[in-house]
A and B are shown apart, each in its own frame.
Chain A
Amino acid sequence: MSPNALEAIQLSKSYNVDSRQITVLDRVSLTVPIGSFVVIEGKSGSGKSTLLSLLSGLDKPDSGKIRLCGTDITDLSEDELAPFRNRTIGYVFQSFHLVPSLTAFENIAFPAELNRDPQAAVKAKELLHRVDLSKRMNNFPHQLSGGEKQRIAICRALINSPQIIFADEPTGNLDSANGEIIMQLLLELRQELMTTLVLATHSREISSKADAIARLVDGRIATSSEKVNL
């Protein structure tokens, strides 16, 4: 098996706006080794979210190929992708995206239950405990603060022990103190679970913690620097 969690080759994506074509991604290639932490960096509107959505199979590229954890997902249908996503990928979004009709606990357990995991409840409780939110388990999302919501979202992303986590500006909607806590937590948990993490951000500070950085400029990856792992 390939030592890479993710291989993207020559990805292009453009949108039609008022009959004008805007190319957001132009033949972008990217490789993420298993267990590494890769940051996709760029200004707002540079195409980070678009790239993440392609890499994670939420959207389809106009051209190019994506291999995710050994599977070519480029041509998989929505319903073929769903169970794959459930078991292989975890997501953390800038705006949390918790299911409003479910409690914190239920939100976390949900992916595991979809996967018919008999341990769903146990795992969810463990994770809740891990992020210090056991007391809030029966609260609904609108009863939680932004930082709490994001901690729940991280637990949800991790419950099925995914091989790769995609995080799109996870601290973007949080103040700096809360942002820091979230980053810390995300990195710790990733370490514990030995999960690959692909994270989009415009913050240099976060980038500095990454194993590798891909910088998006004008729809292309300008630099791809690699840091030495300590």
Chain B
Amino acid sequence: MLHLRFILRQIAGSRNQAIIFVFCVALSLLILTALGGFSGSVRRSMLQDARQLHGADITIHSHYPFSEPLLKAIHDYEQQGIVQGALVNEFYSMARNPQSEKSILSDLKVVAKGYPFYGKVRLLSGREFSKVLSKGSIIVDQVLLDRLQAHIGNTLQIGSTLLTIVDVVTLEPDRPVSFFSFGPRIFIAAEDLERLDLIKKGSRIQFKYLLKVHDPALVDRLGEEFSAMTVPPQENVKTFKNADSRIKRFFENFLFFLSLIGMFTLVLAGIGIQTSLYAMLRESDYTIAIMKSVGATNRFITLHFMAMVMVLGTCGTLLGLILSSLLQLYFPTLFASILPANVTLTISWNVVFEGLVLGTIVVALFSFLPLLRIKNFKPAFIFRKEIEKSGGGILHYSAISIIILFFIGLVIWQLEDVKIGLYFILGLCTLIGLTALITEGLMLFMKKNTARSLVLRQSFRGLFRPGNATRAIIITLSASLAVIFSIYLIDHNLRATFIEAYPANLPNAYFLDIQPEQKTEFSTILGREAEFYPIVRARLASINNKPINRTQEREKRGDNMAREFNLTYRDFLLKDEQMLEGENLFGNRINALYSRGEVPVSVLDTVAENGDIKVGDLLIFKVLGLPLTARVTSIRTRTESKVRPFFYFVFQEKSLKDAPQTIFSSVRIDGEQLAIIQNTLAARLPNISVIDIGSTVEILAGMMHKMSSIIQFFTSFSIIAGLLIIISSIFATRMTRIREAVYFKILGAQSSFVVKVFTYENLIIALSSALLANLISHIGSWLVCRQLFNITYQPLLGSTAIMTAGVIVLVITVGLGASVSILRQKPIAYLRNERQD
């Protein structure tokens, strides 16, 4: 039999802690729903409608014109009315405005009638896409108009022809976000493709056959049928069901990372739940002791407090739901820059339900330990009011193990990847363990501390008040700050290296698809020294006769080994290259290899690692469908990962010189010069693509920045958890603090003294947390920058100082805010109520 009134009175008795508890529960629900809502929205709008994202039921990709048997099969089905097809070509090319003499690398999409089969291309004018795009006309991105100073009605030179701009595209169904693009979009009608004269030998053009299948039941069967006819590995059939776009993979990765952050915050909210519940129970110690001494069973008492937790948990859940619906309103502002405008950001019922279940489990888990304390609580407490060391016992440790196991399970379930899940947990444990360890050291130092100043000494003492969660606060705050700081530091270091200080000696312009016969003319136009690299495009068919598994490769988080690679040939190392394995590039037994029909190849360490390739392995490439059998003779590494051209596979000249190839060139050209050369090239050799690395890197950095701000948004939840624990801790030690304040005042301290003691106390907490966070984040970021990105690390002392100051102000404000009522306490009123020590 439960006494509801008793439960309510307990809650009222420790209402401050109850509120914190409720907030922590609400926070954990908020994290789950916010994250779930965000990823749900992204999935629903951009990823879920696979058919729209795919643009068709079946697509066939190739980098070369389609093979005859395949085309014939498609035409047959078209004639029978089973499928409807539309050919799409995508490639980069220069677009030039003859009036303004400006040109820009653009992302061309040549589409046949019928495109898109699913979804709609939206135009600024609101007109129907298929009616607007016709022979001789183009539809472009607004960015292109701005950059070329062009207007609707102007003509642009693309390849060897002039086309008229008729409209502006605002949304492409099969490309919901455009930040992966090196240039603005231009839609061209299929009828104009020939006239462009851009499809040259070896140039990188994507051929895409979009097929709409009238009977949905036939999609899989037809997909398999076409697959069987393709020329592997260059032709590739995907249905909307098994397709996996780059966008999708990118967002999957990003959401994956966010869910890591979410888990992390959930743990911290859990610590908050635990801290406040401990405090609440401690406030009820006296009641519990009396109940026990008059014969109440553990079961009886525990049930009541469990019911209390349930009541509070429900309140927290409701609050969480209200807060998440408010957050939803803020979503569009937050994510507007990264998601297209039409994406609806809503939290679905599914997400709410999932959040509820998970939230309940988290509350249950983190409430378990505090509730366990009731059982071990001795009624003798009535006689001896001293702090008992809680903990110990099999139940205690098994409870902790269950919490850990649950989180491992949760992480693995959320991340859908056992290995990475375990890595994450390991990382999280290291982070928290490390902070805990250093915190322990700091605490030891603080305890031993005998500061000169009385105020300071009192503040240090204050940190060790019984019931103060100093340890938990510092660990939580510093761990969450460490994450936020690290993201900031890495983000800004990358920016500093690649954008603000783009190295003066590095090439900043890449020229692609130079035909061998254009080399002389190109050099004349360029008018300066340039590095030239021959490029042969090929796919890797097998490693040691084990065929590359396309589907598996697509799902991999690393580089896709099934993609098309750029092979090159030379017999020297680049300036930034070193031998890692092997004496020289091609080894000493070249003739032996050739006599076996094999050619030597040197592999870059990154791809070697990714594909598990070792010296002596046999790689079979397909160059335009023809096999090239290569034996790995060495592994190279790059000394710095600056923006510099690099090649995974390097061959001898004689192995590749007869293969269809283009030339790639990279040059350093500063200022206006680049625009002029770009323009001349666009006019004279329009098939050559120019990539302005400087501005491309800037686009990438902008995108990175958006990502990092979203990550920081979600991480900031964990700071809230930390602050809640601070408030809980101050409330938990309210009586002790009041007592101290009163005694200080009786003994002749002014109120400013008491304020100072409390402020310094929070200052110490803030400083320690910030210090720890800085230590961890700087070491972590340094490691990431040096080891992962190979860039020099700048500690960004200014920003570090600002962040540290921000933390201090925040913690002190929150701390003083929670202490206001304590500071106002009149000594006499306290003395009257206090009877015993």
A interface residues, Cβ below 8 angstroms from B: 49, 53, 58-59, 78-79, 82-87, 89, 91, 93, 95-102, 110-111, 113-115, 141-142, 149, 156, 173
Contact = CB atoms under 8 A, between A and B. Distances in A.
Nearest to A109: B454
Given A58-B828, A93-B831, A102-B461, A142 B748 contact: no
A95 B747 contact: no
Contact of B736 (A49, A100, A149): A100
B836 interface: yes
A76 to B, nearest CB: 12
Contacts of A111: 747-748
B748 A86 contact: yes
Given A86-B747, A93-B831, A156-B747, 19 more contacts: A58-B746, A59-B828, A78-B745, A79-B750, A82-B748, A83-B750, A87-B748, A89-B748, A91-B747, A95-B836, A97-B743, A97-B834, A99-B744, A100-B837, A101-B462, A102-B461, A114-B454, A114-B747, A114-B749
A110 B747 contact: yes
Given A97-B831, A101-B736, A142 B837 contact: yes
Contact of A101 (B465, B751, B827, B836): B465
B552 interface: no
25 contacts: A53-B831, A78-B751, A79-B750, A83-B750, A85-B748, A86-B748, A86-B749, A87-B748, A91-B747, A93-B831, A95-B834, A95-B835, A96-B837, A97-B743, A98-B837, A99-B743, A99-B744, A100-B736, A100-B739, A111-B748, A114-B744, A114-B749, A141-B837, A149-B837, A156-B747
A33 to B, nearest CB: 24
Interface string B111-124: 00000000000000
Contacts of B464: 101
Given A58-B831, A102-B461, A95 B454 contact: no
A173 to B, nearest CB: 8
Interface string B292-318: 000000000000000000000000000
Report which residue of A53, A58, A84 has the largest number of chain B beta carbons within 10 angstroms of its beta carbon.
A58
Nearest first, the 9 closest Cβ-Cβ pairs linking A and B are A86-B748, A59-B828, A85-B748, A82-B750, A113-B454, A101-B461, A79-B750, A111-B747, A58-B828
A82 B461 contact: no
Interface string B441-483: 0000000000000100000011011000000000000000000
B644 to A, nearest CB: 61
Given A97-B743, A100-B736, A114-B454, A79 B748 contact: no
A142 B388 CA distance: 13
Nearest to A160: B748
Given A95-B837, A101-B465, A149-B837, A82 B749 contact: yes
B756 to A, nearest CB: 12
Nearest to B836: A95
Contacts, number: 76
A97 B836 contact: no
Given A101-B736, A142-B386, A58 B748 contact: no
Contact of A99 (B454, B740, B752, B831): B740
Interface string B364-402: 000000000000000000000010000000000000000
Nearest to A102: B461
A96 B746 CA distance: 13
A99 B827 CA distance: 14
Nearest to B753: A114
A195 B592 CA distance: 110
Nearest to B751: A79
Contacts of B461: 101-102
Contact of A83 (B739, B744, B748): B748
A169 to B, nearest CB: 12
B749 to A, nearest CB: 6
Contacts of A78: 745, 751
B732 to A, nearest CB: 15
Contacts of A97: 743, 746, 831, 834, 837
Contacts of B834: 95, 97
Nearest to A156: B747
Using C-beta atoms within 8 Å of the partner chain, give the interface range for chain B.
20 to 34
A87 to B, nearest CB: 7
Contacts of B750: 79, 82-83
A122 B752 CA distance: 27
Contacts of A53: 828, 831
Given A83-B748, A87-B748, A95-B836, A58 B827 contact: yes
Majority secondary structure, B binding face: helix
Contact of B740 (A83, A101, A115): A101
Contacts of B739: 99-100
Contacts of A58: 746, 827-828, 831
A137 to B, nearest CB: 14
Contacts of B836: 95, 173
Contacts of A149: 837
Contacts of A93: 831
Contacts of A84: 748
B9 to A, nearest CB: 21
Nearest to A115: B748
Contacts of B462: 101
Interface in B785-837: 827-828, 831-832, 834-837
A42 to B, nearest CB: 17
A79 B743 contact: no
A82 B836 CA distance: 24
Nearest to A79: B750
Report which residue of B746, B835, B836 has the largest number of chain A beta carbons within 10 angstroms of its beta carbon.
B746
A86 B835 CA distance: 23
A115 B747 CA distance: 10
A101 B744 CA distance: 12
A130 B736 CA distance: 30
Interface string B746-790: 111111110000000000000000000000000000000000000
A96 B834 CA distance: 11
A94 B828 CA distance: 14
Contacts of B386: 142
A157 B803 CA distance: 46
A33 B832 CA distance: 28
A95 B740 CA distance: 15
Interface in B621-675: none
A110 B744 CA distance: 9
Report which residue of A53, A96, A101, A149 has the largest number of chain B beta carbons within 10 angstroms of its beta carbon.
A101
B465 to A, nearest CB: 6
Report which residue of B464, B750, B751, B836 has the largest number of chain A beta carbons within 10 angstroms of its beta carbon.
B750
Nearest to A113: B454
Contacts of A114: 454, 744, 747-749, 753
A170 to B, nearest CB: 14
Nearest to A173: B836
A177 to B, nearest CB: 20
Contacts of A102: 461
Nearest to B463: A101
A79 B461 CA distance: 24
Nearest to A144: B837
A100 B837 CA distance: 8
Contacts of B753: 114
Nearest to A49: B832
A223 B102 CA distance: 109
Contacts of B454: 110, 113-114
Contacts of A89: 748
B837 A85 contact: no
Contacts of B746: 58, 85, 91, 97
A139 to B, nearest CB: 13
A117 to B, nearest CB: 11
Nearest to B737: A101
Contacts of B831: 53, 58, 93, 97
Given A99-B740, A101-B465, A141-B837, A85 B747 contact: yes
